[in-house]
Structure 1
Amino acid sequence: MADEHAQRDDGTPGAARLSLLDRVLRVFADVRAGEGVTAALLSFGLFLLLASYYVIKPIRDSLITGLPKGAEYKSWMGAAIAIALLGAVPAYAKFASSVPRNKLLLWVTAFFVSNLVGFYLLGVLPFTGSGVGQLLYVLGFFLWVGVFNMMVIAQYWAFANDIYTEEQGKRLFPLIGIGASIGSAVGSMVLDTSIKQLKKSAEQEGRSGTAVIAPLLLLAAVILAASAVIALWVHSRESRGGRAKPEEAKQDAPKEAESKEGAFRLVLSHRYLLLIALFSLVFTLVNTNSEFVKDVLVKAYAAELGGGDEAKTATIRTELFNQFYLWVNLLGAFLQSFVVSRIVKFFGLRRAFFMLPFIALLDATTIALLPVWGIVRFGKIAENATDYSLNNTLRNMLWLPTTRRMKYVAKQAVDTFFVRAGDVGSAALVFLFSDRLKLGVRAFAITNIALIGVWLVLARLIVVENDRMTKQGAIKQKTVT
């Protein structure tokens, strides 16, 4: 390591030799001399973070769907989460403005770890096993997960943005994103194995309700804490190794004029940030509409294949969903590992940013013309896999030219509140189109076609602004008039 550091710090990175790790990682991305260790650590930290979340997410879904009227509660909680974020985001922004990044990472993660321990302790109490106690516990946990998962993932990517220059980020973010793809799958497998053992133990001991799955929250807490340890290791390594970005020292305790702005005001007062926020809202609206259509088509296709047998239909429906997510995860992992870095390298952000909306447009058009799951599933698999791999990487690259405060504070507002606002907008459309007007999936597909037009316009404006900022080398505040 000492030799590697010396090679990186001598001012002639081009003369440095690639380490064995650097060479191995070059299979996945354009890793240069001395960059392998930090990139691998960041990818591993993201792996742990997503593994933790995918232990928690199925627990959340299982708890709320087990309630009477669970589906209704689930749709209503989207609005509740958006309201909660109106308070959580400003609180995070205030804290982020007062501490350096290592303390921000430590204390925010410690807060969420302590929350998981608290939910475990509540979950083993008899009061939360049934009745009103169970309802309050499940809704509270669902609300908490909706805030937690968006905030910690946004913070981790903000940290990665803070570590790298724009040029490095464009090369290395595809590699870091591999950790997320693998972590999601591993977290699901860990949960599947653990919950079988817990159910067997619970049956022997006569336990039921939340007490059965509560111990899994401790497992998630340990994995989440480990992700913070990795992030702090990266912070220490980069700070000690003298590889901090030139502007880092000046921005560690923000003194710039924008440090006085709240998270939402910061987003609304800068053209580039506002464009990203609007894009996130519209993109999420399209995506959530598409997910609703997917669920409707799968249900109808399973009913057709089941021939009126409810048990057979339920089994077919489960198999269809499992097959869909399997192919999405496999294709997404392949794209993230071997394709995304090459697309970014050869096409750049300017062209790559338009790939997903065109796939989504083709998918929506197919649904509008022939809404049959046996046909549209191929387009939906391609759309979701591209979203989870290429689009997720590109969305995080958008923040590379921004200031540190924008990375940590504005990104929280965009990746939490504005994304969740898109979910709320989709829920409103479901209520209007499906519940009130009794329209079919074609109405959602046609709506998505129109929304994708808006998405393409916003994407064009974003890449133009991104190019301008990249050429200037530093972001300029641009107040919206």
Structure 2
Amino acid sequence: MPRSVPTSRSLRFRHALAASPALWWALLYFFCLLCGYYVLRPVRDAMGASADPSAVFPQWLLVAGERAGFALGDYTLQLLFTGTFVAMLLLQPVYGALVARFPRRVFLPVVYLGFIACLGGFWWAFHAGVPGRGGAFFIFIAVFNLFAVTVFWSFMADVFDNAHAKQVYGYIGAGGTIGALSGPAITRLLVEQVGVANLLLVSMGLLSVCLLCIVQLRPWAMARERAHREASGERAMGGSVWAGLRLVAQDPLLRALALLMFFGVGVGTLLYNEQAAIVRRFYPTAEAATRYYSTLDWAVNGLTIVIQLLLTRWLLRRYGVAPLLLLPALAILAGFALLSASPLPLLVAVVQVTTRASEFSLAKPARETLYTRMDREARYKAKSVIDTAVYRTGDFSFVWLHKFLAGFGSSVVFATGVVVAAGMAFGAWRVVREQRGLPENSPGDVAAAQPSRA
């Protein structure tokens, strides 16, 4: 009967909630985190696409650029991505020190409290009209997104083991997607009534709920660690603040994940920059650009939740991570091949939606389940390096590559994107091959009584 499938899915979801109270808090956590981020993302994107450099850069920097003989407005995204790359490199050892020297109950709240405090500072800066606030806000939101989300998934790998993750990660991802759908809706509804600055207060409130969820989920993380005889996250992990880099360099699977991340970011950056050029032409005001980006986010997240509810959990439990990693890579490769032949604005938007939706609904849940089968150093230290430093290195590299290629036209940009997408597909294949050597669950940390590896 037509209604049997939805009813069956609904019953499975209710059973999962009843079997795991932690799932309730994980859903609320990810919902609030992504809702808070997506309230602000359209604002960030509108600033990055702004044709008015004085809205992005402080006056002294504009004057310095003029004296050096070039206009900063011609390099807006390149400079913003470079600033983000530098900020990420500076913050990575700070995060590494937090993870190494403080227990989970300390460093997780500290990360989110730091972001809440920064949003309060930006709220003041927007109200006061501080010059250069646009560029600083763009960089902050990019840093916030990567660190806040990677901390979330690292914590989920503490709370759920591999078998449980295959059952609930699809639901958790869907909860986040609902938040990601709600965020742009809030922005579209409120931006013209309350202004950009007051949207930051909404995001601060949502991040405060995330702190509550962290506290509530701690007992389940501790219980999982006892059950699998792992070192407790309630004690400092120890080791070097640079341990994550060493782990990525030494471990073949982590290297493959870094390769996949680098080229995956590359295709997204090339596409994002071409899209920004379209926005500058057709949506010249900040309000119009913000509405456009929020509409695009709606489309991305709408497609994401459909895939999450219908395919992700089934594919993950039946076939493992292989199809979830390989299918998005092949779809993106096909999309860039089409764009290289016909770089139409509508097709750019369609490929953008497909690229981001497949990443959120398939590739990311697959990568995150792999960390449930690794030890805590890999989950917190190596994962952070891949999700932040490697990610922003890709951004930095490809945003300047795009600037060089843009002079030859969109077709050349997308033809280069085909090569980058092929690199992404190769990285996905390497991850699929290397992950076969992982245990089904994270190894019991027999090193709990031994010195840290790094």
What TM bracket, shorter-length normalisation?
0.7 to 0.9
1:448 maps to: 417
In the alignment, is the contact (CA less than 8 A) between 2:102 and 2:235 conserved in 1?
A: yes
1:458 maps to: 427
2:16 maps to: 31
AA at the equivalent of 1:439: F
CA displacement, residues 221-265 of structure 1 (integer Å, 9 cap, x when unaligned) = 1210111111211113554x6775423345543567x65753323
| 1:134 matches 2:131 | yes
In the alignment, is the contact (CA less than 8 A) between 1:363 and 1:380 conserved in 2?
A: no
CA change 1:34–1:351 in 2 (3 A) is same
CA change 1:410–1:386 in 2 (3 A) is same
2:344 maps to: 372
2:41 maps to: 57
CA offset at residue 138 of structure 1? 2.8
Distance 1:383 1:191 in 2: 23
Distance 1:298 1:143 in 2: 20
Distance 2:350 2:403 in 1: 27
* SS in structure 2 at match of 1:124: helix
In the alignment, is the contact (CA less than 8 A) between 2:27 and 2:175 conserved in 1?
A: yes
CA offset at residue 355 of structure 1? 0.4
CA offset at residue 411 of structure 1? 1.5
| 1:193 matches 2:189 | yes
1:107 maps to: 110
2:256 maps to: 275
* SS in structure 1 at match of 2:131: helix
Percent identical among aligned pairs is: 21
86, 89, 92: which one aligns with 1:86 = 89
2:204 maps to: 221
| 1:289 matches 2:289 | no
Distance 1:180 1:138 in 2: 27
Q: Which moved more, 1:394-403 or 1:44-53?
A: 394-403
Give 1:118-129 correspondences, 5 Å limit.
118-125=121-128, 129=129
344, 361, 370: which one aligns with 1:398 = 370
1:236 maps to: 219
AA at the equivalent of 1:233: Q
AA at the equivalent of 1:274: R
Give 1:401-412 correspondences, 5 Å limit.
401-412=373-384
In the alignment, is the contact (CA less than 8 A) between 2:322 and 2:432 conserved in 1?
A: yes
AA at the equivalent of 1:397: T
2:28 maps to: 44
| 1:349 matches 2:317 | no
CA change 1:104–1:255 in 2 (3 A) is closer
CA displacement, residues 289-335 of structure 1 (integer Å, 9 cap, x when unaligned) = 133344557888x7xxxxxxx99x99999998676544333211211
1:5 maps to: none
AA at the equivalent of 1:421: T
1:335 maps to: 307
CA change 1:268–1:221 in 2 (3 A) is same
Distance 1:46 1:278 in 2: 26
CA offset at residue 456 of structure 1? 2.2
AA at the equivalent of 1:144: F
Query: How many residue pairs were aligned?
Result: 420
CA change 1:176–1:291 in 2 (3 A) is same
* SS in structure 1 at match of 2:19: coil
Give 1:237-276 correspondences, 5 Å limit.
237-239=220-222, 244-250=226-232, 252-253=234-235, 261-276=242-257
TM-score (norm 1): 0.77
CA change 1:251–1:124 in 2 (3 A) is closer
Q: Which runs of 5 or more structure 1 residues have no equivalent in the other structure?
A: 1-22, 200-212, 303-309
Distance 1:369 1:87 in 2: 40
AA at the equivalent of 2:354: A
* SS in structure 2 at match of 1:68: helix
Give 1:289-328 correspondences, 5 Å limit.
289-295=270-276, 324-328=296-300
2:66 maps to: none
1:168 maps to: 164
Distance 1:29 1:350 in 2: 28
CA offset at residue 155 of structure 1? 0.2
CA change 1:276–1:252 in 2 (3 A) is farther
CA displacement, residues 337-372 of structure 1 (integer Å, 9 cap, x when unaligned) = 222111212222123210001101111111222333
Q: Which runs of 5 or more structure 2 residues have no equivalent in the other structure?
A: 1-7, 57-72, 448-454
1:203 maps to: none
350, 358, 369: which one aligns with 1:386 = 358
* SS in structure 2 at match of 1:338: helix
Distance 1:321 1:255 in 2: 40
Distance 2:418 2:390 in 1: 21
